[in-house]
């Protein structure tokens, strides 16, 4: 049985959902699957044993370091001859996958949304031009490494009793020093991993309305997004921008508030599973991609939405 | 301080993408410098203007990328290297990074800037591959860069938050839109850019080939989304009620 390695990412000491998604994918493709995870978490084994991995390698460390993670993971891949390597396409994958590519002298195929075996090849599909088109491609390397966009694959429950072993993480040779910022909102949901995103656009008319949308986002456990128009106007930080020059996202639910739907924005969120659009202009292009649309002033809809959601969530 | 900036030429963000046979149809595309790379170039020029030194730009691609290198000259770059590749594949980050490493192996740079990711391939692999190949520090997603004589301090966006990275030179930093507002080239700059020499290196002479690590099977356009529903109940309250019911009971997403 060919072997796969999934690089499991933690948030608040728990595996992120996307880690379980890729484990399920590797297993459903018929691979004997090992998970490697860096950090400290009591629930790691418990959570990963729900999706059928046969082995867990834990690198005990307190500090995140893309550089040392990449070297360690590369060594593990080499030593164990993993054929397929998957990791969630999050910030961390962006920080380590390129390094692994160089260390193992092989290509990494990034931000894939589909993976299948066809004519004995692992064929992946990935959005290009922020989602205006897709490329289908395969890896010719000995190690086939892919980063996978969160929410692309289903989690398939399958209980297992994985063996666990620990390895040490050496961060002493790091070429950078990292300090976390006190003001960091690391507890907040990041856009690329979010299951639900609420985004505001030009229609929200000013910076003061984003805290209102943030409250709505908190109610739903959602991440806060924005259109380029809102970011360019200085109403909200660029890290929230969805679209071709911001983040490309595929949440289960995308709620566009006061966003008309410029081509760059539609590219960046058009692969969301369901889209809700709230805009008073019925000609707005966003309605062409919306699952549900409400043509009305957002300043009337949003307060009502908040009231009813509060009632629903108790 | 010597600065290298990697720029990639990409289709304009307004461009609609068409597929012709098994290729992306490039016939009516307007080409620009990838927005994140443009921000990286601006940051490099600002650091040069403050600390002295030179800015060299480098780009991999067919003949057309020379236009982008000239735009970089007009903005304030001092030198330009074109890695000429007629059989260019924008998705092959490993080949692109390897060719840049090879073409600059005898040059000393303190800072290498490039964009967080190019808006064509959306890979974001090149800077980190290059960082490992050149054995230097790599810092991604800069929001603020402070460069002193001996080290650099970078505020970075990380997943859902922010962190500060410190490193000594040489260092690779990826920039993203929002870090600065790139300047428009001046008329004087545009005139002068026409006369500046672009150094050309042929990718084959560097020993690099495209598509050795990846195989492109084809391209397709996104599937059409199913037709949606406009909620047209009588009152605001009823509209919202119907929306929540659909999301909660039918789609089960909230």
Residues 270-289 of A with CB under 8 A from B: 270-271, 273-276, 282, 287-289
Q: How confident is the model at residue A60 (pLDDT cuts 50, 70, 90)?
A: confident
Q: Choose, out of B125, B171, B233, the residue to mutate when testing the contact with A (most A CBs < 10 Å).
A: B125
Radius of gyration of chain B (CA): 22
Of A91, A270, A295, the CB nearest to B159: A91
User: Scanning the structure block, which residue is given the tokens 């996202």?
Assistant: A249
- Report the percent of chain A where pLDDT is more than 70: 97
For residue range A261-273, list pLDDT tens digits in order.
999 999 999 999 9
Radius of gyration of chain A (CA): 21
Please answer whether residues A224 and A240 qualify as being in contact, where contact means their C-beta atoms are separated by less than 8 angstroms. Answer: yes
Q: How confident is the model at residue A182 (pLDDT cuts 50, 70, 90)?
A: low
Of B143, B158, B248, the CB nearest to A312: B248
Report how far residue A135's alpha carbon sits from residue B222's, in angstroms, rounded to the nearest whole number.
Answer: 10
Report how far residue B73's alpha carbon sits from residue B33's, in angstroms, rounded to the nearest whole number.
Answer: 12
Report how far residue B12's alpha carbon sits from residue B54's, in angstroms, rounded to the nearest whole number.
Answer: 28
For residue range A190-247, list pLDDT tens digits in order.
898 899 999 999 999 999 999 999 999 999 999 999 999 999 999 999 999 999 999 9
Report how far residue A273's alpha carbon sits from residue A208's, in angstroms, rounded to the nearest whole number.
Answer: 29
Q: CB neighbours (10 Å) of residue B191?
A: 11
Q: How confident is the model at residue A183 (pLDDT cuts 50, 70, 90)?
A: low
Q: How confident is the model at residue B196 (pLDDT cuts 50, 70, 90)?
A: very high
Answer whether A97 sits within 8 Å of B125, measured CB to CB: yes
- pLDDT of A185 > 80? The answer is no
Q: Identify the closest residue of chain B to A135 by CA–CA distance.
A: B219
What is the structure's pLDDT at B25? 93
The residue length of chain A stands at: 314
What is the structure's pLDDT at B22? 84
What is the structure's pLDDT at A43? 78
Phi-psi region of A80 (alpha: psi -120 to 50; beta: other; left: phi over 0): alpha
> What is the pLDDT averaged over residues B26-40?
96
Q: How confident is the model at residue A1 (pLDDT cuts 50, 70, 90)?
A: confident
Q: CB neighbours (10 Å) of residue B54?
A: 14
Confidence (pTM): 0.95
| Alpha-carbon distances, residue A73 vs A7, A66, A99, B134, B137 (angstroms) | 8, 10, 10, 20, 18
> What is the pLDDT averaged over residues A64-77?
96
What is the structure's pLDDT at A171? 87
Please report the ipTM that was assigned to this predicted complex.
0.95
Report how far residue B70's alpha carbon sits from residue B80's, in angstroms, rounded to the nearest whole number.
Answer: 8
- Report the percent of chain B where pLDDT is more than 90: 94
Indicate the helix (H) or strand (E) that contains A254: strand A253-257
- pLDDT of A41 > 80? The answer is no
What is the structure's pLDDT at B164? 96
Q: How confident is the model at residue B92 (pLDDT cuts 50, 70, 90)?
A: very high
Answer whether A244 sits within 8 Å of B13, measured CB to CB: yes
Q: How confident is the model at residue A187 (pLDDT cuts 50, 70, 90)?
A: low
Cα distance from A161 to chain B (closest Cα, Å)? Answer: 31
- pLDDT of A92 > 90? The answer is yes
What is the structure's pLDDT at B159? 80
- pLDDT of A282 > 90? The answer is yes
What is the structure's pLDDT at B33? 98
Strand B171-175 relative to strand B111-115: parallel, antiparallel, unpaired? parallel
Answer whether A129 sits within 8 Å of B243, measured CB to CB: no
Report how far residue B151's alpha carbon sits from residue A11's, in angstroms, rounded to the nearest whole number.
Answer: 31
Q: Tell me the sheet residues that pair with A115.
A: A124
Q: Choose, out of B214, B237, B251, the residue to mutate when testing the contact with A (most A CBs < 10 Å).
A: B214
Indicate the helix (H) or strand (E) that contains A219: helix A210-220
Check CB contact of A183 with chain B, cutoff 8 Å.
Answer: yes
Cα distance from B88 to chain A (closest Cα, Å)? Answer: 15
What is the structure's pLDDT at A190? 82
CA B246 to chain centre: 40
| B170: preceding bond cis by omega (within 30 degrees) | yes
What is the structure's pLDDT at B208? 97
Please answer whether residues B52 and B1 qualify as being in contact, where contact means their C-beta atoms are separated by less than 8 angstroms. Answer: yes
Q: How confident is the model at residue B188 (pLDDT cuts 50, 70, 90)?
A: very high
- pLDDT of A186 > 60? The answer is no
**Chain A residue numbers touching B237 (CB-CB < 8 A):** 304, 308
Report how far residue A77's alpha carbon sits from residue A15's, in angstroms, rounded to the nearest whole number.
Answer: 20
> What is the pLDDT averaged over residues B72-95?
97
**Chain B residue numbers touching A175 (CB-CB < 8 A):** 136-137, 167-168, 171
Residues 80-119 of A with CB under 8 A from B: 90-92, 94-99, 101-103, 106-111
| Three-state SS at A48 | helix
Answer whether B128 sits within 8 Å of A140, measured CB to CB: no
Answer whether B17 sits within 8 Å of A289, measured CB to CB: no
| Three-state SS at B84 | strand
Check CB contact of A296 with chain B, cutoff 8 Å.
Answer: yes
> What is the pLDDT averaged over residues B127-141?
97
Q: Choose, out of A175, A222, A246, A247, the residue to mutate when testing the contact with B (most B CBs < 10 Å).
A: A175
């Amino acid at each position: 049985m060919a072997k796969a390695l999934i690089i499991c990412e933690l948030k608040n000491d728990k595996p992120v959902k996307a880690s379980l998604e890729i484990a399920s994918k590797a297993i459903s493709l018929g691979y004997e699957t090992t998970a490697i995870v860096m950090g400290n978490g009591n629930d790691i084994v418990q959570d990963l044993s729900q999706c059928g991995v046969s082995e867990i390698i834990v690198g005990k460390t307190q500090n995140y370091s893309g550089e040392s993670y990449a070297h360690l993971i590369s060594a593990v891949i080499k030593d164990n001859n993993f054929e397929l390597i998957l990791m969630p396409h999050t910030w961390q994958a962006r920080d380590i996958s390129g390094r692994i590519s160089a260390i193992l002298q092989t290509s990494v195929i990034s931000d894939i949304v589909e993976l299948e075996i066809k004519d004995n090849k692992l064929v992946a599909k990935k959005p290009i031009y922020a989602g205006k088109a897709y490329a289908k491609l395969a890896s010719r390397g000995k190690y086939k490494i892919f980063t996978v966009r969160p929410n692309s694959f289903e989690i398939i429950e399958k209980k297992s009793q994985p063996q666990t072993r620990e390895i040490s993480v050496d961060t002493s040779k790091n070429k950078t020093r990292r300090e976390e910022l006190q003001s960091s909102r690391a507890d907040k949901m990041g856009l690329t991993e979010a299951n639900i995103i609420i985004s505001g656009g030009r229609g929200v008319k000013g910076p003061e309305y984003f805290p209102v949308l943030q409250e709505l986002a908190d109610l739903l456990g959602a991440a806060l997004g924005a259109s380029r128009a809102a970011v360019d106007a200085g109403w909200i930080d660029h890290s929230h921008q969805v679209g071709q020059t911001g983040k490309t996202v595929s949440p289960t639910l995308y709620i566009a508030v006061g966003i008309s739907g410029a081509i760059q924005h539609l590219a960046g969120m058009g692969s969301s599973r369901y889209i809700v659009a709230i805009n008073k202009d019925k000609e707005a292009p966003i309605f062409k991609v919306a699952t549900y649309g409400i043509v009305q002033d957002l300043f009337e809809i949003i307060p009502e939405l908040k009231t009813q959601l509060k009632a629903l969530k108790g | 301080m010597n600065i290298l900036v990697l720029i990639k030429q990409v289709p304009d963000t307004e461009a609609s993408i068409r597929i012709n046979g098994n290729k992306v149809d490039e016939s009516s595309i307007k080409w620009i410098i990838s927005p994140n790379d443009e921000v990286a170039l601006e940051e490099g020029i600002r650091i040069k203007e403050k600390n002295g030194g030179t800015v060299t730009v480098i780009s991999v691609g067919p003949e057309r990328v020379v236009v982008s290198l000239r735009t970089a000259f007009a903005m304030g770059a001092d030198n330009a290297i074109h890695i000429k590749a007629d059989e260019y594949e924008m998705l092959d980050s490993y080949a692109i990074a390897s060719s840049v490493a090879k073409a600059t192996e005898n040059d000393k740079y303190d800072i290498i800037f490039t964009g967080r990711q190019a808006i064509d391939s959306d890979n974001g692999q090149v800077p980190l591959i290059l960082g490992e190949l050149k054995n230097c520090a790599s810092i991604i997603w800069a929001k603020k860069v402070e460069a002193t004589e001996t080290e650099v301090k970078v505020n970075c966006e990380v997943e859902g938050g922010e962190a500060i990275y410190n490193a000594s030179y040489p260092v690779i930093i990826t920039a993203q839109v929002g870090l600065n507002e790139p300047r428009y080239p001046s008329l004087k700059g545009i005139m002068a850019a026409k006369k500046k020499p672009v150094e050309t290196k042929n990718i084959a002479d560097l020993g690099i080939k495209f598509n050795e690590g990846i195989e492109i099977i084809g391209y397709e356009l996104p599937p059409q989304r199913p037709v949606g529903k406009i909620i047209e109940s009588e009152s605001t309250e009823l509209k919202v009620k119907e929306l929540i019911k659909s999301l909660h009971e039918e789609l089960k997403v909230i």
